[in-house]
Structure 1
Amino acid sequence: MRFRRSRAAKRGRIEIIPMIDVMFFLLATFMLASLAMQRLDALKVKLPAGRAQQTTAHEPLTISVDSSNEVFVNRQAVRLDQIEPTVKGLLQPDGNVVIAADDAAGHGVVVQAMLAARRAGAERFLIAVHRE
Protein backbone atom coordinates (compact mmCIF):
# COMPACT_ATOMS: atom_id res chain seq x y z
CA MET A 1 0.00 0.00 0.00
CA ARG A 2 1.25 3.41 -0.97
CA PHE A 3 0.79 6.46 1.23
CA ARG A 4 0.61 9.85 -0.28
CA ARG A 5 2.58 12.63 1.21
CA SER A 6 0.17 14.99 2.82
CA ARG A 7 2.10 18.12 1.93
CA ALA A 8 5.42 19.00 0.57
CA ALA A 9 7.87 20.44 3.08
CA LYS A 10 7.25 24.15 3.44
CA ARG A 11 9.94 26.69 3.91
CA GLY A 12 9.70 29.02 6.91
CA ARG A 13 8.96 32.65 6.17
CA ILE A 14 9.73 35.74 8.17
CA GLU A 15 6.72 37.98 8.23
CA ILE A 16 7.84 41.62 8.06
CA ILE A 17 4.61 43.40 9.06
CA PRO A 18 4.41 42.06 12.63
CA MET A 19 8.09 42.89 13.05
CA ILE A 20 7.42 46.49 11.95
CA ASP A 21 4.56 46.71 14.44
CA VAL A 22 6.79 45.55 17.28
CA MET A 23 9.56 47.98 16.31
CA PHE A 24 7.10 50.89 16.16
CA PHE A 25 5.74 49.97 19.58
CA LEU A 26 9.27 49.86 21.03
CA LEU A 27 10.13 53.21 19.45
CA ALA A 28 7.00 54.85 20.86
CA THR A 29 7.65 53.34 24.31
CA PHE A 30 11.24 54.61 24.46
CA MET A 31 10.20 58.06 23.24
CA LEU A 32 7.54 58.37 25.93
CA ALA A 33 9.92 57.05 28.59
CA SER A 34 12.59 59.60 27.64
CA LEU A 35 10.04 62.43 27.78
CA ALA A 36 8.99 61.30 31.25
CA MET A 37 12.60 61.63 32.42
CA GLN A 38 12.77 65.33 31.50
CA ARG A 39 12.06 67.95 34.14
CA LEU A 40 9.60 70.07 32.20
CA ASP A 41 8.42 71.96 35.27
CA ALA A 42 11.83 73.41 36.15
CA LEU A 43 12.32 77.12 36.62
CA LYS A 44 14.19 78.76 33.72
CA VAL A 45 17.42 80.34 34.93
CA LYS A 46 20.65 80.96 33.06
CA LEU A 47 23.19 78.85 34.94
CA PRO A 48 26.90 79.66 35.00
CA ALA A 49 29.17 77.27 33.11
CA GLY A 50 31.40 74.83 34.96
CA ARG A 51 32.52 71.24 35.31
CA ALA A 52 30.96 69.09 37.98
CA GLN A 53 30.03 65.48 38.64
CA GLN A 54 26.48 64.41 37.91
CA THR A 55 24.39 64.02 41.05
CA THR A 56 22.66 60.70 41.64
CA ALA A 57 20.42 61.95 44.42
CA HIS A 58 16.65 61.66 44.36
CA GLU A 59 14.69 64.88 43.71
CA PRO A 60 16.63 67.21 46.02
CA LEU A 61 15.22 70.43 47.41
CA THR A 62 15.99 73.27 44.99
CA ILE A 63 16.38 76.95 45.82
CA SER A 64 16.39 79.09 42.68
CA VAL A 65 17.25 82.76 42.35
CA ASP A 66 16.39 84.38 39.03
CA SER A 67 17.88 87.46 37.36
CA SER A 68 15.45 89.81 39.12
CA ASN A 69 16.55 88.40 42.53
CA GLU A 70 13.28 86.57 43.17
CA VAL A 71 13.72 83.44 45.29
CA PHE A 72 11.91 80.16 44.61
CA VAL A 73 11.87 77.01 46.73
CA ASN A 74 10.88 74.06 44.50
CA ARG A 75 9.26 76.47 41.99
CA GLN A 76 7.26 78.22 44.74
CA ALA A 77 7.99 81.94 45.03
CA VAL A 78 8.99 82.93 48.57
CA ARG A 79 10.38 86.00 50.32
CA LEU A 80 13.75 85.82 52.05
CA ASP A 81 12.11 85.70 55.50
CA GLN A 82 9.92 82.75 54.39
CA ILE A 83 12.77 80.52 53.21
CA GLU A 84 13.59 79.01 56.60
CA PRO A 85 10.08 77.66 57.45
CA THR A 86 9.50 76.55 53.85
CA VAL A 87 12.78 74.63 53.68
CA LYS A 88 12.20 73.11 57.12
CA GLY A 89 8.97 71.52 55.86
CA LEU A 90 10.43 70.22 52.57
CA LEU A 91 13.97 69.18 53.51
CA GLN A 92 14.90 65.53 52.87
CA PRO A 93 16.71 63.50 55.57
CA ASP A 94 20.00 63.71 53.63
CA GLY A 95 20.00 67.51 54.01
CA ASN A 96 21.02 68.27 50.41
CA VAL A 97 19.89 71.53 48.84
CA VAL A 98 20.55 72.46 45.20
CA ILE A 99 21.22 76.16 44.58
CA ALA A 100 20.29 77.24 41.04
CA ALA A 101 21.15 80.91 40.72
CA ASP A 102 21.05 82.96 37.54
CA ASP A 103 24.30 84.55 36.33
CA ALA A 104 22.76 87.98 36.88
CA ALA A 105 21.41 87.18 40.36
CA GLY A 106 22.75 89.27 43.21
CA HIS A 107 25.41 87.56 45.31
CA GLY A 108 23.88 88.83 48.54
CA VAL A 109 20.47 87.35 47.80
CA VAL A 110 21.99 83.95 47.04
CA VAL A 111 24.03 84.02 50.25
CA GLN A 112 21.02 85.07 52.34
CA ALA A 113 18.98 82.21 50.83
CA MET A 114 21.75 79.73 51.65
CA LEU A 115 22.06 81.01 55.23
CA ALA A 116 18.30 80.70 55.74
CA ALA A 117 18.42 77.13 54.41
CA ARG A 118 21.34 76.36 56.75
CA ARG A 119 19.29 77.60 59.72
CA ALA A 120 16.46 75.32 58.56
CA GLY A 121 18.72 72.26 58.75
CA ALA A 122 20.39 72.00 55.33
CA GLU A 123 23.77 70.29 55.64
CA ARG A 124 25.16 70.30 52.10
CA PHE A 125 24.68 72.69 49.21
CA LEU A 126 25.04 71.62 45.59
CA ILE A 127 25.56 74.43 43.09
CA ALA A 128 23.79 73.86 39.75
CA VAL A 129 25.88 74.73 36.69
CA HIS A 130 25.37 74.42 32.97
CA ARG A 131 27.59 71.65 31.52
CA GLU A 132 30.22 72.85 29.06
Structure 2
Amino acid sequence: MQYLEVKKGRVEIIPMIDIMLFLLIFFIMITIHMIPDQGLPANMPGSSTAQTLPKPKVVVNLYPDGHIEVEGKTMTLSALSDYLHNHQPSETQVTIAADKTADIQALVKVMDACRSAGVTAIGLAAKAGGVGGA
Protein backbone atom coordinates (compact mmCIF):
# COMPACT_ATOMS: atom_id res chain seq x y z
CA MET A 1 0.00 0.00 0.00
CA GLN A 2 1.31 3.36 -0.99
CA TYR A 3 0.66 6.54 0.97
CA LEU A 4 0.40 9.88 -0.70
CA GLU A 5 2.18 12.67 0.96
CA VAL A 6 -0.13 15.60 1.70
CA LYS A 7 1.41 19.04 1.53
CA LYS A 8 0.18 21.70 3.87
CA GLY A 9 -1.23 24.85 2.22
CA ARG A 10 0.62 28.10 2.66
CA VAL A 11 -0.88 31.54 2.95
CA GLU A 12 1.01 33.80 0.60
CA ILE A 13 1.37 37.26 2.12
CA ILE A 14 2.59 39.18 -0.97
CA PRO A 15 -0.63 38.73 -3.00
CA MET A 16 -2.64 39.73 0.09
CA ILE A 17 -0.63 42.95 0.38
CA ASP A 18 -1.19 43.65 -3.32
CA ILE A 19 -4.95 43.23 -2.91
CA MET A 20 -5.05 45.44 0.19
CA LEU A 21 -3.11 48.22 -1.59
CA PHE A 22 -5.42 47.94 -4.59
CA LEU A 23 -8.46 48.30 -2.31
CA LEU A 24 -6.88 51.27 -0.53
CA ILE A 25 -6.19 53.04 -3.82
CA PHE A 26 -9.71 52.25 -5.02
CA PHE A 27 -11.29 53.78 -1.91
CA ILE A 28 -9.04 56.84 -2.07
CA MET A 29 -10.03 57.47 -5.68
CA ILE A 30 -13.74 57.09 -4.85
CA THR A 31 -13.39 59.46 -1.89
CA ILE A 32 -11.63 62.10 -3.99
CA HIS A 33 -14.53 62.12 -6.45
CA MET A 34 -17.01 62.56 -3.58
CA ILE A 35 -15.45 65.87 -2.48
CA PRO A 36 -17.36 68.78 -4.08
CA ASP A 37 -15.24 70.95 -6.35
CA GLN A 38 -17.39 74.05 -6.07
CA GLY A 39 -17.06 76.89 -3.60
CA LEU A 40 -19.33 76.88 -0.58
CA PRO A 41 -20.14 79.73 1.77
CA ALA A 42 -18.12 79.24 4.95
CA ASN A 43 -16.71 81.23 7.85
CA MET A 44 -13.03 81.72 7.19
CA PRO A 45 -11.17 81.12 10.44
CA GLY A 46 -8.26 83.03 11.86
CA SER A 47 -4.84 81.43 11.97
CA SER A 48 -2.79 80.56 15.02
CA THR A 49 0.33 80.62 12.81
CA ALA A 50 -0.33 84.01 11.19
CA GLN A 51 2.80 86.06 10.83
CA THR A 52 3.67 89.57 9.78
CA LEU A 53 4.73 89.71 6.16
CA PRO A 54 6.38 92.52 4.21
CA LYS A 55 3.90 95.13 3.12
CA PRO A 56 2.21 93.88 -0.05
CA LYS A 57 2.06 96.07 -3.10
CA VAL A 58 -1.67 95.48 -3.67
CA VAL A 59 -4.30 94.61 -1.06
CA VAL A 60 -7.61 93.30 -2.41
CA ASN A 61 -10.51 93.45 0.05
CA LEU A 62 -13.29 90.89 -0.50
CA TYR A 63 -16.60 91.56 1.23
CA PRO A 64 -19.42 89.14 2.17
CA ASP A 65 -21.66 90.33 -0.67
CA GLY A 66 -18.89 89.50 -3.17
CA HIS A 67 -17.75 92.97 -4.16
CA ILE A 68 -14.04 93.72 -4.19
CA GLU A 69 -12.16 96.85 -3.32
CA VAL A 70 -8.60 97.93 -4.15
CA GLU A 71 -7.12 101.14 -2.71
CA GLY A 72 -10.59 102.31 -1.67
CA LYS A 73 -12.09 101.79 -5.15
CA THR A 74 -14.75 99.18 -5.87
CA MET A 75 -13.79 97.04 -8.87
CA THR A 76 -15.15 94.21 -10.96
CA LEU A 77 -13.05 91.10 -11.57
CA SER A 78 -12.15 92.22 -15.09
CA ALA A 79 -11.19 95.70 -13.82
CA LEU A 80 -9.02 94.05 -11.13
CA SER A 81 -7.32 91.91 -13.76
CA ASP A 82 -6.67 94.98 -15.95
CA TYR A 83 -5.41 96.96 -12.94
CA LEU A 84 -2.94 94.23 -11.98
CA HIS A 85 -1.86 93.70 -15.58
CA ASN A 86 -0.79 97.35 -15.73
CA HIS A 87 1.36 97.07 -12.55
CA GLN A 88 4.15 94.67 -13.63
CA PRO A 89 2.28 91.48 -12.67
CA SER A 90 5.40 89.31 -12.42
CA GLU A 91 6.74 91.53 -9.60
CA THR A 92 3.43 92.44 -7.96
CA GLN A 93 2.56 90.90 -4.62
CA VAL A 94 -1.18 90.64 -3.99
CA THR A 95 -2.74 89.97 -0.59
CA ILE A 96 -6.43 89.11 -0.50
CA ALA A 97 -8.11 90.22 2.72
CA ALA A 98 -11.40 88.35 2.66
CA ASP A 99 -14.15 88.92 5.18
CA LYS A 100 -14.77 86.02 7.58
CA THR A 101 -18.18 85.35 5.98
CA ALA A 102 -17.08 85.84 2.36
CA ASP A 103 -18.04 83.17 -0.15
CA ILE A 104 -15.18 80.83 -0.99
CA GLN A 105 -16.19 80.81 -4.65
CA ALA A 106 -15.80 84.59 -4.73
CA LEU A 107 -12.33 84.19 -3.20
CA VAL A 108 -11.39 81.70 -5.92
CA LYS A 109 -12.68 84.07 -8.61
CA VAL A 110 -10.50 86.88 -7.22
CA MET A 111 -7.49 84.53 -7.21
CA ASP A 112 -8.28 83.53 -10.81
CA ALA A 113 -8.47 87.19 -11.84
CA CYS A 114 -5.05 87.80 -10.25
CA ARG A 115 -3.56 84.76 -12.00
CA SER A 116 -5.06 85.74 -15.36
CA ALA A 117 -3.29 89.10 -15.02
CA GLY A 118 0.00 87.24 -14.57
CA VAL A 119 0.42 87.66 -10.80
CA THR A 120 2.22 84.72 -9.21
CA ALA A 121 2.61 85.99 -5.63
CA ILE A 122 -0.84 85.77 -4.03
CA GLY A 123 -1.31 85.69 -0.28
CA LEU A 124 -4.33 85.45 2.02
CA ALA A 125 -4.67 87.73 5.00
CA ALA A 126 -5.71 86.17 8.31
CA LYS A 127 -6.17 87.52 11.78
CA ALA A 128 -3.81 86.25 14.42
CA GLY A 129 -5.33 84.63 17.47
CA GLY A 130 -6.30 81.08 16.61
CA VAL A 131 -9.09 79.36 14.79
CA GLY A 132 -12.17 81.51 14.59
CA GLY A 133 -10.32 84.41 16.19
CA ALA A 134 -12.15 87.72 16.23
One fold, TM greater than 0.5? yes
The answer to whether residue 120 in structure 2 is matched with residue 123 in structure 1 is: yes
Cα 1:98–1:91 shift into 2, 3 Å:
farther
Tell me how far 1:96 sits from its aligned partner. 1.4
Q: Deviations over 1:66-97 (max 9, x none)?
A: 11111112321011222210122245663311
Partner residue in 1 for 2:53? 55
Q: Which amino acid aligns with 1:104?
A: T
Q: How does 1:1-132 map to 2 (within 5 A)?
A: 48-50=45-47, 51-56=49-54, 58-91=55-88, 94-132=91-129
% identical aligned pairs: 21
**Structure having the higher Rg:** 1
Structure 1 runs (4+) deviating above 6 angstroms are none
What is the alpha-carbon distance in structure 1 between the residues aligned to residue 91 and residue 80 of structure 2? Answer: 18
Normalising by structure 1, what TM-score?
0.57
Q: Which runs of 5+ in 2 are unaligned?
A: 1-42, 130-134
Residue-by-residue CA offset, 1:98-129 (whole Å, 9 max, x unaligned) = 01001111111111111111111211111100
Report which stretch shifted further, 81-90 or 118-127: 81-90
Count how many residue pairs are aligned between Structure 1 and Structure 2. 86
Unaligned segments of structure 1, at least 5 residues = 1-45
Change (3 A) 1:101 1:91: farther
Q: What RMSD over aligned residues (CA atoms) do the two structures have, in Å?
A: 2.2
d(CA) in 2 for partners of 1:127 and 1:78? 18
Tell me which of the two structures has the higher relative contact order, counting C-alpha pairs closer than 8 angstroms and 6 or more residues apart: 2
Q: What is the TM-score of this pair, normalised by structure 2?
A: 0.56
Q: How many Å separate the matches in 1 of 2:119 and 2:58?
A: 10
